[in-house]
Chains A and B, each alone.
Chain A
């Protein structure tokens, strides 16, 4: 047998004609019984051996191939009475309506005029010949327009009550879902049997069928009414043997047996001359079985059930839905060379690395071709075998034979026989490139390439700095790992997907990977003015980095030598780097706009030396475009960016560890003085609220334009209470030491906000549900503790207590009500935005940028003449702009504007 390469030029869809079904069939299937007494499949049953090989070692009686090679063969069932194919009910209905019940012609007026007296038509109405001419002209070039023409033809033809060709009176056709047709005759509704329907469809001439959307060469209308049913090969519906030796058949097999059984009974009844009623009942049953064989979720009829009560999974169900053939097996497949486990943090890894458990490294392999350069290493891998890392699992000989090292008795001998040309599937080792991914994969940086670092333990380890792109945390998150198998794939992953090449996100051109939380706290603590380090301390924190070089002269020489934190940071900056800008802490009383800054909140870097200002979120934070970190990476490259994160950022953490950083109750405790001030504030604002309520009751309240009086009152009260919380927060902020740990975290942007501190130290404030004060519960009051219609702050969810002082039970209830809403919101939002994203991506996924910068679809249609109107890749842009003039001037001259 010779195998020739064939190239698919096109696919033709159409209906199977009865002749074709018989032609492709290996034989009629008639027997409803599947096995005979000794358990062998019966010939002529749905498990007929001619339909395909099921048992290993057998040869196919039709094509002679063994199992796995024989594709299986179709059989057929001769239906005693025709039945309607449920998939084409709509087409049958449209066709019946548009054609004459007598002559089968399309009910459009002929150009020369109708000979019938009763036939009425308007002058401008479409003629048969004209419709045919238009269709012929546009079919090839504008298939979508042709579809619209066909719809129009159907509509006009269906309206005719008299056939313009044979003058026969037409009746209205009615359909009863899912597959019964009636005709509204004078004597009432008359059921149309499938036989009659088929006769009518047969009468339609080819030209008319074409105008109804059929391509008569491949699908004649009457083929939508089945007279022969194809029986798919058993390879498509394999039976499974359970341990007990019992045979369980596929759902399709069950369905086919049902069809044959009813078909035989129907044949028997007809032959024995049973009454019409009984025949029609059986016929209907046959129709039901054939319909559910195609689709078992047809609305209006009960789904066919398995003996256990489970609905059968028939043809349509195999294709449909998330786990169907298209979404489950064609768009998405399961893969080899992948691993999944829990992730945990390891700050000692490079951002480019991923820690892989040794267990995983012994199962995942990379095929490596033996050369004279790596032969010794690979020999050792083969000797180590599958159980000892770093070993190998398989050896592929030059003739293509695969040797499983688990079953090789003498691996030393095999290792000695290795020569260039062999391929060894060796274990994953340090430095291998792998893809690392966390679902939901919302953007391209949800999957990046890492370098393997094999570690003990059972979790994947990753640097904390790469959490933002994956949106990962360590509360039990699991991630997937894939090992590229070819040199091309490895190179592509390394050059395009490596973490360091994705520090800048294409979303806005800023660094998505950067400092967060502890890194920011550490950086601030290190660079703050008061930090002075002895030589030993400087050595300690620099020890975690790869820095090699001179420390330079200490900033303070007497009485002792001290280095400043800014000096340490400067060691890592390029010697020609200039930057000026405000720090995150530059706000409120500590804001600065110029170099002359007593609060150290204006950053000045000249010639790579940090002269002034602290490092906080604005300087090195993640997702902070136009920051120091951004310009450093943009101007000195991805690799330098990685160098900073692997060294400088580690120094920050080391310093935080050395100094110690924590949070105490004192950090959120305010003085008695501040407490009494807050009390005073509460009293004042309560009076204002009372004022509003009195005015409201007297009817003197000034309504806000566009709102009712009640709404206005609510608005005024909410405003007042919001002011109250803000002023309470201000008092607390003034009272707290600006250098206490909690406040430092909030000011530097490491964690928390001033609002969080307010809620902890001063008061929680108004709890809301749907943006309004909480007002539902009991009749006209939230809880039975309040008077009916009480509108005072405390009765509508205002919490005077702080987390520090603790909430009373009622306040706690209100807080829980507000918190619940937040939970529901996040749950709803994620599901909705997730589906929106899916639709968007499916709509846009095939659009691409051509080499000349044009944006086009797969069909070549132009979307944009030049991508984004400027052809700029946002990932390589300066925060979306082609270039940033200010930054260029600053970089060259050393000063902005």
Chain B
């Protein structure tokens, strides 16, 4: 684990613009809205025959994945390519003992290749923050998931998906269901939803999969699925993080499905026009019934599409923030 200081001291430049994207925590409503709106205009680009803009032309983006991921890596890669950047994908196993030093060595090697942006995924909380602290100036760092800490682009693509289907956040009841304890996605979603002013944020999970003091984040806690889903506008299912389960926190997957798996029957308790989301990959028959995942209320594939747009938005905004800072510094000299 790395220590995490005040995130905004590192992710914003002196003008208050994004220069790294490490976490949704502490970012202003205006900035989160700007990310959503910028992403929204990138999403509409799909009408173009050539689905590419020249914003990051000549820039090199390195996807630095210390933890495997198919959909996050491929959407980041596609996002960078649609911004006309050159992209390098690196999958690095985390077998080493002195992680901090190894990271620094890896960074120096990549910086020598004149990279302009690192997209980092790591199993340790705080890894992206650590890298942002140690990169050379004018290199942007985007967090693509760090341990249990944050997965801000996933949270923002979920916000874009909600915005595109529900419009305004203020009347919404949003229920997040499943393995909250191990979920960096849930944490980032809760921060974003609170800042964007959702009326009520609920977490629904068995006690063993809830972090201590989760109420401090401003959420209502439910251990009964039916009660928690009552009148919800948005239901976000989380993946059961089997690879993160260190001990027997669950009696069995089938028991979990019986109590917390999303079925059409349980979904009856939510509002009639409720939408269902899931960050993927889904465990069918563990968190969610296939009939729901493939049903008319499911936005799971919209989320993937919106993921590209959100990643294009934070990449271009962070690069823009870095360049603004660079120009301000050279003016001051």
Partners in one complex: no
A residues touching B (Cβ–Cβ < 8 Å)? Answer: none
B residues touching A (Cβ–Cβ < 8 Å)? Answer: none
